[in-house]
Amino acid sequence: MIETENLKTMSEKSFYDLDYIIEINEQRLEEYTTAYQKVLERLTHVILIYSAITIFLIPIIQDSSLFRISNPIFLLFLIIFLGLLVVSLVFTIRLIIPGDLAYLNFPKKYYRDYRKEYEKSIEDKESINELLKVSYVRELEEILANNEKALRIKSTFQYKALIFALISIVPYLVCLTFHLSQKSDNVQKVQIVNTENLSNFMKPDTMAKCKDDKKTTNVDAIKANDYPGVDNSLVLDSHPIYRRENSSVAYTFTFDGKKVYIK
C-alpha cells in the first residue's frame, strides 16, 4: 500500500513544474550543507593521528640531529616519515582555511524588489509569479554549483590529509623501534656505570659525585536558457549571498550583475 502511494506521488511530480524544480534543488542544497559539515567534523580523525605521532616525534628527531643514531636505514625512514607528515599537514592546513560558501538571499528580495521590477513591464500576476520562481531557481542553482565545488575541494583535502597521515605511521613505527632500542641500550649502560660508582663509593678513600644533566572559490554564474512555462528572456538573474566561513564579510550581486557588500 505504501509503495503504491509512493509510486503515485512520484508520477504526480513533473520537471515541467517549477514548484517541483524548486523542491529538488532545495533538497540537494540541504544534502550538500550536511555533507560539508561532516567533512569538517572528520578532521578530528587526522588530529588524533597527529596526537599519537607527536608523543615520540621530538625524541626521534633528536636522535638524528644529535647523532645518537647514525644507522642509514633509520635516517632513510625518518626522511620518508617527515616527508609524508609534511604533505599531510599541508592538506590539513588547506582543509581548515575558510572557503567561500553561498547562502540563500533574503526572501524580501523576491516578494518586494524583484516583484516591483517585474511589475514595471508585466501586468499579469501569474506570469510575474512564474518569473519570480525562475529567478529563485537560478539562485538555487548558483548556490548548488558553488557549494558542490567547495564540498569536493574540502573532501579531497580531508581525504589526502588522512591518507598521508596513515601512510606516515609505517616509517614512524620503524623510527620508533630504533629509538626505543637505542634508549634500551642507554639504560643498560647507565646501570653498569651506576654499579661501578657504587663499588667505588664503598671504598673509604673515594667520594661519590653526582651531577644532574613548535579562494575563494570562484563560481561562474549559472544562467539556464530554458525553464518551463515562462519567457526566459524576461527572467531577472538572482544570486545568493557569499560569505567566507568564520567571517562577517558577505556580498551578493544585484539582478544587473553589480556586486554589493552586505553590512
241-244, strands of its sheet edge to edge: 100-103, 241-244, 250-253, 259-262
Q: Which residues of the chain have pLDDT under 50?
A: 4, 7-8, 187-193, 195, 198, 201-202, 204-222, 224
d(CA 63, CA 128): 75
Question: What b/e sequence results for 166-176 when a residue is b if at least 16 CB atoms lie within 10 Å of its CB, and e otherwise?
Answer: ebbbebbebbb
Query: Which residue bears the cell 597527529?
Result: 50
Output the pLDDT for position 197: 52
Cell of 147: 557549494
Burial of 66 from C-beta contacts in 10 A (0-12 / 13-18 / 19+): exposed
E strand segments, 181-254? 241-244, 250-253
Give the pTM: 0.70
